[in-house]
Amino acid sequence: EIVLTQSPATMSLSPGERATLSCRASQSVSTFLAWYQHKPGQAPRLLIFGASKRATGIPARFSGSGSGTVFTLTISSLEPDDFAIYYCQQRSNWPITFGQGTRLDIK
Amino acid sequence: QITLKESGPTLVKPTQTLTLTCTFSGFSLRSREVGVGWIRQPPGKALEWLALIYWDGEEQYSPSLKSRLTMSKDTSKNQVVLTMTNMDPVDTATYFCAHELYDIMTGFNSFDIWGPGTMVTVSS
């Protein structure tokens, strides 16, 4: 099973700042990696698939990069609605696995 | 517009079998490359993938839960059913179903639309 390790576990930033979230895979997943945003009591929201492709309706301030084992989700300028938990997920090998999440808090 | 909604009991007793139904609209499980997955989230913990069923009947299960999980689909009712046997308090979680998108242009799969989730508590 491919293990995804996200860092940091928690980050505290202010609106307008740049957020850089990391996801590291225990073995190469090529670019078969997605990022999701999850708020309590809501359904997760797909942000990025194929490591760098924004899903439909996702603002341009969200960007993804990386390949192989190291991936980054960048939020260029945080808006109040962006404070949530972010998960990476690999779709390279069975079983599908998720990272443990990065909680993005308002500073 | 694709929507999904999970339904089932909110409380089950240990050792009982859980049956959850995902009712969806806006797509058909007769269509090529379409899948419906199940994911859960225990309170305060991360998302965990459970199972996925495809348009052609292919099923994939989490190895750690495979012996306890079964899925079925009813394309006429636009429903997918997940059963989990021998429930335990550690199975207490919010259970989500999700549409799996296969992007033909890029060849990537992802869960693009999720249901709101249903909370299941396992307790005697």
Q: Within a 13 Å sphere around the CA of A48, how many CA atoms are in the beta-carbon half?
A: 28
Selected residue of A96, A97, A103 to mutate for chain B interface (largest B Cβ count, 10 A): A96
CA dist A95 and B61 (Å) reads 7
Which of A3, A57, A50, A49 has its CA nearest to residue A25? A3
pLDDT for B104 beyond 90:
no
C-alpha A41/C-alpha B99 separation (Å) is 19
Instruction: Strand B3-7: give its sheet, edge to edge.
Output: B3-7, B18-25, B79-84, B69-74
Query: How far, rounded to the nearest angstrom, does the alpha carbon of residue A17 sit from its chain's CA centroid?
Result: 17
Distance from CA of A53 to the nearest CA of B (A): 9
Chain A hits for B117, Cβ within 8 Å: 43
**Residue B73 and residue B87: Cα distance in Å, rounded?**
22
User: What is the band of B105 on the pLDDT scale with cuts at 50, 70, 90?
Assistant: confident
Residues of chain B contacting residue A91, judged by C-beta atoms under 8 Å apart? 108-110
Question: Which residue type does A74 have?
Answer: T
B97, B106, B111: which to substitute to probe chain A, counting the most A Cβ within 10 Å? B111
pLDDT of residue A75: 98
Backbone angles phi, psi at B28, to 5 degrees: -125, 140
| Pick from A41, A43, A26: nearest CA to B37 | A43
Whether A95 sits inside 8 A of B108 (CB atoms) is no
A94 CB neighbours in chain B (<8 A) are 60
- Smallest CA–CA distance, residue A64 to chain B, in Å, is 14
Contact yes or no for B108 and A44 at CB 8 A: no
Which helix (H) or strand (E) segment is B55 a member of?
Answer: none
Banded pLDDT at A22 (limits 50, 70, 90): very high
* Residue B59 to residue B61: CA distance in whole angstroms: 7
Distance CA A48, CA B60 (A): 23
Better pLDDT: B5 or B107: B5
In this prediction, residue B103 carries a pLDDT of 84
Residues of chain A that touch chain B, judged by Cβ-Cβ distance less than 8 Å: 1, 31-32, 34, 36, 38, 42-46, 49-50, 53, 55-56, 87, 89, 91, 94-101
Mean per-residue pLDDT over chain B, rounded: 95
For position A91, what pLDDT does the model report? 94
Nearest to A43 among B37, B62, B114 (CB): B114
